[in-house]
Structure 1
Amino acid sequence: MKKTNKSAMSLAFPLDLQYFAEATLQDLLQARSEKHDRMGAILETAKADNNRDLTNEEEQEFDSLESEMIDLDNKIAAREKREKRENTVAARAATIQNHNPAPYRPSAVFGGNPTQPEPKNDHGFASLGEFINAVRFGDSKGRLAEVPVGQGEGGGYKVPDAFRAQILPSQVLNQWSMGTGGEGGFAVPTEFRPDVLMISPEAAIVRSRATVIPAGEEAPDTKITMPALDQGTKGVFGGVEVTWIGEGEEKPDTSGSLKEVSLQPHEVAATTVVTDKLLRNWSAADSFIRSLLTKAMMAAEDIAFLTGNGTNKPTGVVGAAGSLAVKRSTANTVTYDDIVQVLAYLLPDSASSSIWVANQSIMPDLVKLKDPAGNYIFIQGNATKGIPATLMGIPIRFTGKTPAKGQKGDLVLVDLSYYLIKDGSGPYIAASEHVYFKQNKTVIKAFWNVDGKPWVISPLTLEDGSTKVSPYVVLDIPTA
C-alpha cells in the first residue's frame, strides 16, 4: 500500500494509525488546527448562503471532523504526557550516573528543553578534595601538567573553573592558582562551583546584598576609583541645586560636586590543618575541608565589611564616615526608643532594601521590648512561634560578627546596596607539609584578594534642609 502524504491527507476522513504512530506532537497539533479551521469554514459557508442549515453532506463531514477533533485531543494529551516523562528522565540522567555523567549535548534531546550549558573544565579531577590531594602528594595521572601555570607572585597552577565557586561566591571566581610544592599553590578549576566550597548567599550577610565589582580578567588586583556623593549644602540629590526660573530670567549655575571612593583589593588568607591520613582519603576530606574553609572565609569577609578599620583591610559600615551614630538612651541595653530613633535616621529610599544586623547578645533585650502601652513589639502573641525574622517590618540577622552588647554597633540598620565590594584575584589554594612534618599533618591555606568600602562618604541632608539621614545607621553608647 502506498504511504499517504500527511500534508495532502484529506481532512474529511480519519487519519490512519500509521500516521499517528509516526506523527510528532507538532504534527498532531497542526492536524487539529486544520480540522478546526475546516469546521469553521463549513459553518461560514452555510451562514453566507442566507444563513441556511447544513446540507446532509456538510453535516456528515462536520460530525466526522468533530469526532476526529476529540480523538486528536486525547492523542495530544497522551503525547504531551509521554514527552514530559521523557524530558524528566533525561534531566535526571546526569545526577543518577554520578560517576558516568551523560555526554554533553548542545541542544535538548526531546525538544522543548533549553540548551544545556557548556560544561566547565575540571582538568580530570572529580572534586576539590582530589585536586588538593594532587597538590599535596603529587598526581600520578599527570593531570596537573595540563593545568595552566600562574604568572603572578608565587606562581602555581590555575584552579580549574569547575571548583571556583566552591570556595567563594561567583563574584570572586577569577584567576585561581596554587603554587607548586609545599610553599606554593595550585589554582582551583571552575566546574565544581555548585557543590564544593561555595558560600551560601543567605549565609553571608554583606556580600549577597552589596554592590560587587568583579575582578576582571586583566590586572584583577588593580585599584579602582568610583564616584562618591559629595552633597555639600545642595540637598540629598548629589549636590544638584534645582531652582524655579521666571520667564526671561537668567539660569543659575547648578553644577554638582563629586568626590571619589578608591578600592584596592587586599590579600586575606584562611588556613586549616588536617592529618595526612585524612587528606589521602580525598573523597572523605572533601566536604570536611570545604566546610571549614567556607565558613572561615565567609566570616572574615563579613567582619571586615561590617567593622573593618580600612588599614590593609576593608572599611566597615560601623565606623564609616558616612554612617550616622544614634546615642542610646540607657547604657548596656537596647530600648524601644533606641529602635525608633535608629529607624528615623535611615535614608527613606532604603526602607525597603535595608536590614537590621544585631549582635546575638542583644537578643534578650529585643525579645522583651515593649511599646509605651506595654505591648511586646518583637514577639507578638504565642512565644512558641519562635524568634521573628523582622523588627519593625525590616529583616533582622543575628550574628557574632559585630560588637557585643552595650558597644557601638551592637545594633545596625543598613542598606548594603550602598556598600561597594571590589573582588581581586583568587581564591588560591596551597598545601604544605613542612609546619607539622613530624606529626604527619598538612596545612591547607586558601587566600584571595578583596576590598570593600561604603559608597556614601558623609550623612545626607533631606530636602527640608535640616534632617540628616544615612543608609548606615549605628546604635552608639549613651551621651556622656
Structure 2
Amino acid sequence: MNLQELRQKLGNLCDQQQAIVDKAVSEGRALTEEEKKQFDNLQAQIDGLNETIKAAEAVQARADKLNEPADKPFRPALDPRIDAGYRQQDKLDDGGFKSLGEFIHAVRFGDPKGRLDNLPRGQGQGGGIEVPDAFKAQIMPWRFKAEWRMDEGASGGFAVPTQFRDDMLMLRPEEAIVRPRATVIPAGDPPDGMITIPAFDQGAKGVFGGVEVYWVGEGEEKPETGAGLREVSLQPHEVAAHTVVTDKLLRNWQAASSFISTLLRSAVVAAEDMAFLRGNGVAKPIGVLNGAGTIAVNRAVAGQITSNDVINMLAKLLPESKQRAVWIANQSALPQIATLQDAAGNYIFIKGDATRGIPDTLLGIPIRFTGKTPALGQKGDLILVDFTYYLIKDGSGPFVAASEHVYFKQNKTVIKVFWNVDGKGWVNEPLTLEDGITKVSPYVVLDVPAA
C-alpha cells in the first residue's frame, strides 16, 4: 500500500468515526456501548495509521533528497548497520549514450561512433530505434524503473524509488488516471503477441460465473454443476506520439534531454488515458465507456448531474468494488458536483486536502476531475469504476525515430516515439447479484436522459 492509499484509508476511517458521532448527535443521545467500542477501535486504527504515514513521509522526504541534482549533493546520515546494506541496482544499459538527448541527437543527425547499429529496430509500421534501457524510464517511468533498495535489517526492509537520472523530471503516478489503478500484464515474450485469459461467463447465473450451489440432503444424489468460461484477448496495438523541436535545440542535446522527455511523457499519458477511458477498440484499446460489461445509468435532467443520479450510479456498482472504486468526472462538471446535496441538505462532495494527500470525495469515494472524458451533459461526463477489473497488456517499445524532411526549410525535426499496448474490461457483461434480479458492474457511466 503506497503513501496515497494510506492517506485515503486514514480519511475513510475518520469519516466512519465522524458518522458514529453524527448519528448520536442527530438522535440527541449519548453513544451506545457498541458505538463506543466501534469508535475506540477506529481511533486505534487511526493512531496506528498516523504513525505509519509519518514514517512513510520521512522515507519519501529522504528519497526526494537523494534525487536532487548533482550540484546539490545529499546523503542522509543513516545507521551504519543499515547503511551497509544500501546499494544501487545494477546499472542499466545506456547503449553508450550519456543521455536521452544525446541518443535522439544521434538518431536525427547520425552517429559516427556506430552505437545505433547495436540497438534493436522497431518491426511495426513506425519502425524507429529502440530506446536504450537506461532512458526508457524517462519516457515511460511506470513501465521501466530501477530503484535503490535497503536490505532487511532490524527495522525490516523497504524500497525507495530513487535511481532516475538527475535530468529526468519524474512523472507522478497520480498524473495518469487508469494505469496506476488497472491490472497490468507485462510485455512478456513475444512482447506484441496476443494473450488470452479466461473470464467468467456470468449470464443469469450471478456473480459466481455459472457455479450453482445446492443444499443436498443425506443420501440424495449430488447435482452436476459447471462454470461457463469466456475468453478475453488482448493484442498490443502500435501507438505513436510526436513533437517538433528546432535543430538548434536538438544539437544542444544536453539541454534538450529533459525538455523532450517531458513532452513525450505527457503525450504518452494522455494517449493511454484517452484510449483506456474512451477507446472504441478499432486499432486501439476498448475503453470503459464502450466496454461490453459497462452499465449506463440515465440521468434525470439533460445537461445536469443530480444527487439522485450519483446515488443511482452507486447502486449499480459491484458491491465489493466500493473500496477500490474511483469517480472520474469531466472538469466542466465540477461546479455542479461541488454543490450536490442529499435530501437532508448535506453536501455529498467533500473537498480533500492536497497537502496531506487526502483526495476529494463524492459519497465517500475518491473523485478525479479531468478533460479526458466527455463534457458535461454527454454520456460519460461522470464515471464510477473499479479499475482493477480493467486489463492493460503492454507490448514492445518504446522506439524513437526522427525526421528532418517535414520541416526541412524551417530547420526543425519531428521526433516520434512508438510503443505497443492494449486494454479492455475483464468483465464482459453486467453481473447478476444473488437475488437473481439486480444487475451490477465494476464500470458504471452516467448517460443522457432516457428517451
TM range, normalised to the smaller chain?
Answer: 0.7 to 0.9
Q: Which residue of 2 aligns with 1:235?
A: 206
Which of 385, 388, 393 is equivalent to 1:414? 385
Which of 132, 136, 151 is equivalent to 2:108? 136
Alignment partners' CA distance in 1, 2:337 and 2:65: 47
> What is the TM-score of this pair, normalised by structure 2?
0.74
Structure 1 gaps of 5+ residues are 1-88, 103-107, 174-190
* Deviations, residues 421-453 of structure 1 (Å, cap 9, x unaligned): 111111111111011111100000011111100
Contact 2:293–2:427, Cα closer than 8 Å, also in 1: yes
Q: Larger Cα Rg: Structure 1 or Structure 2? A: 1
Q: Which residue of 1 aligns with 2:23?
A: none
The 1:133/1:381 distance shift into structure 2, 3 A limit, reads closer
Q: Which has the higher contact order (CA 8 A, sep 6+)?
A: 2
Which of 262, 271, 274 is equivalent to 1:303? 274
Structure 2 gaps of 5+ residues are 1-61, 146-162
Alignment partners' CA distance in 2, 1:151 and 1:471: 36
Please say if 1:117 is aligned against 2:96. Answer: no
The 1:296/1:149 distance shift into structure 2, 3 A limit, reads closer
* 3-state SS of 1:318 partner: helix
* 3-state SS of 2:409 partner: helix
Alignment partners' CA distance in 2, 1:318 and 1:93: 41
What letter is aligned with 2:111? D
Structure 1 stretch displaced more, 287-296 or 434-443: 287-296
Q: Which residue of 1 aligns with 2:247?
A: 276
How far residue 233 of structure 1 moved from its aligned partner, in angstroms, is 2.3
% of aligned pairs identical?
Answer: 64
Alignment partners' CA distance in 2, 1:324 and 1:155: 39
How far residue 148 of structure 1 moved from its aligned partner, in angstroms, is 2.8
Contact 1:326–1:342, Cα closer than 8 Å, also in 2: yes
* 3-state SS of 1:447 partner: strand
* Deviations, residues 90-135 of structure 1 (Å, cap 9, x unaligned): x9899675799x9xxxxx9996324431111113322211111111
Contact 1:378–1:388, Cα closer than 8 Å, also in 2: no
The 1:451/1:478 distance shift into structure 2, 3 A limit, reads same
Which of 466, 476, 479 is equivalent to 2:437? 466
Contact 2:70–2:166, Cα closer than 8 Å, also in 1: no
What letter is aligned with 1:164? K
How far residue 372 of structure 1 moved from its aligned partner, in angstroms, is 1.5
What letter is aligned with 1:304? A
Aligned residues: 364
Alignment partners' CA distance in 1, 2:346 and 2:396: 52
Q: Which residue of 2 aligns with 1:433?
A: 404
Report the aligned-residue RMSD.
Answer: 3.1
What letter is aligned with 1:245? V
Which of 157, 162, 171 is equivalent to 2:134? 162
* Deviations, residues 316-347 of structure 1 (Å, cap 9, x unaligned): 11121101111111110000000011011100
The 1:316/1:265 distance shift into structure 2, 3 A limit, reads same
* 3-state SS of 2:103 partner: helix
Contact 2:139–2:262, Cα closer than 8 Å, also in 1: no
Alignment partners' CA distance in 1, 2:352 and 2:137: 42
The 1:125/1:172 distance shift into structure 2, 3 A limit, reads closer
* 3-state SS of 2:256 partner: helix
- Give the 5 Å matches for 1:317-466: 317-379=288-350, 389-466=360-437
Contact 1:166–1:195, Cα closer than 8 Å, also in 2: no
What letter is aligned with 1:399? T
Contact 1:293–1:446, Cα closer than 8 Å, also in 2: yes
The 1:451/1:195 distance shift into structure 2, 3 A limit, reads farther
The 1:392/1:433 distance shift into structure 2, 3 A limit, reads same
How far residue 365 of structure 1 moved from its aligned partner, in angstroms, is 0.5
Alignment partners' CA distance in 1, 2:263 and 2:67: 28
* 3-state SS of 2:205 partner: coil
How far residue 351 of structure 1 moved from its aligned partner, in angstroms, is 0.6
How far residue 297 of structure 1 moved from its aligned partner, in angstroms, is 1.2
Which of 213, 224, 228 is equivalent to 2:185? 213
Q: Which residue of 2 aligns with 1:68?
A: none
* 3-state SS of 2:366 partner: strand
Q: Which residue of 2 aligns with 1:69?
A: none
